[in-house]
């Protein structure tokens, strides 16, 4: 390798007029090493989102709600619950009876409250003046429908289940009863997917149903995605 460099140095000195030493020095110089390629930092996958912890129950709300439960269980009979079953598709009649009965219970307990308007969530608000919100649900099946209002820890539910009677399989009958449930209990097990669903739903609304995107859609038709939240209350019923 040295002989080869010396030979090249002699040729350079003859051709370009360099001294032998200058030509040899030129050959010995090494170009600066290329800058090391710094690999792009690997994208660290986002850590799995930890489901939000359920907030601690409001002690005052819990205590008053249990007092209401005691009063209702003492003043509402099984027959009255059974008679609230919807007949001939007239759901509003039974619902009016239920709301009237609830107001009687609150009045007998000297509780203040604000009654919600028609088709609004939280039928009774600020019950007892402590911001206790109560939703009344009268159901004839084991499925409760919340429409587009997702259950929440800040809402307490009183479910009036009118019972189930099976003529051929009597052992499958379920008696009429009352259920007293905090909204957070309906959310158990859905902590992983429910936030994703809400995000997906919001994105759909933004894309097709509101703002400039909605205005830019062609045609005279418009849409608005609206969820229907429902829950199976089998695990809360007494058989």
Q: Would residue 179 count as lying in a domain?
A: yes
pLDDT of residue 47: 46
Q: Could you tell me which of 76, 79, 68, 70 has the C-alpha nearest to residue 162?
A: 79
Look at 129 and 4; give whichever has higher pLDDT.
129
Q: Would residue 198 count as lying in a domain?
A: no
Separation of alpha carbons 125 and 105, rounded Å: 15
Query: Is the pLDDT confidence value at 161 over 90?
Result: yes
Q: Could you tell me which of 74, 72, 87, 237 has the C-alpha nearest to residue 163?
A: 237
Strand partners, 180: 158
Q: Could you tell me which of 68, 142, 137 has the C-alpha nearest to residue 103?
A: 68
pLDDT in tens, 184-214: 999 999 999 999 999 999 999 999 999 999 9
Please state the rounded mean pLDDT for residues 103-120. Answer: 92
Q: How many domains does the chain have?
A: 1
What is the domain extent for residue 66? 59-189+228-236
Structure-block tokens of residue 28: 């010995």
Percent with pLDDT over 70 in the chain: 77
Q: Would residue 161 count as lying in a domain?
A: yes
pLDDT bracket for residue 237 (50, 70, 90): very high
Q: Would residue 75 count as lying in a domain?
A: yes
Predicted model pTM? 0.74
Q: Would residue 199 count as lying in a domain?
A: no
Q: Would residue 183 count as lying in a domain?
A: yes
């Amino acid at each position: 390798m040295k002989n080869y460099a010396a030979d090249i140095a002699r040729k350079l000195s003859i051709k370009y007029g360099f001294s032998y030493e200058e030509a040899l020095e030129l050959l010995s110089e090494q170009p600066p090493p290329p800058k090391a390629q710094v690999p792009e930092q690997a994208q660290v996958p986002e850590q799995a989102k930890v489901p939000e912890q359920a907030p601690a129950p409001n002690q005052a709300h819990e205590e008053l709600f249990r007092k209401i439960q005691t009063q209702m269980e003492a003043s509402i009979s099984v027959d009255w619950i059974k008679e609230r079953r919807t007949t001939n598709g007239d759901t509003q009649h039974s619902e009016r009876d239920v709301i009237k009965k609830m107001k009687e219970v609150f009045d007998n307990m000297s509780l203040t409250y604000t009654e919600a308007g028609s088709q609004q969530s939280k039928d009774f608000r600020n019950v007892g003046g402590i911001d206790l919100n109560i939703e009344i649900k009268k159901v004839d099946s084991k499925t409760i429908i919340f429409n587009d209002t997702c259950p929440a820890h800040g809402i307490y539910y009183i479910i009036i289940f009118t019972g189930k009677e099976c003529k051929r399989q009597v052992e499958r009958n379920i008696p009429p009863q009352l259920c007293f449930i905090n909204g957070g209990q309906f959310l158990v097990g859905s902590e992983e997917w429910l936030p994703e669903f809400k995000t997906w739903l919001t994105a759909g609304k933004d894309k097709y149903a509101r703002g400039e995107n909605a205005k830019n859609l062609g045609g005279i038709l418009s849409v608005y995605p609206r969820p229907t939240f429902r829950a199976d209350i089998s695990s809360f019923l007494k058989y």
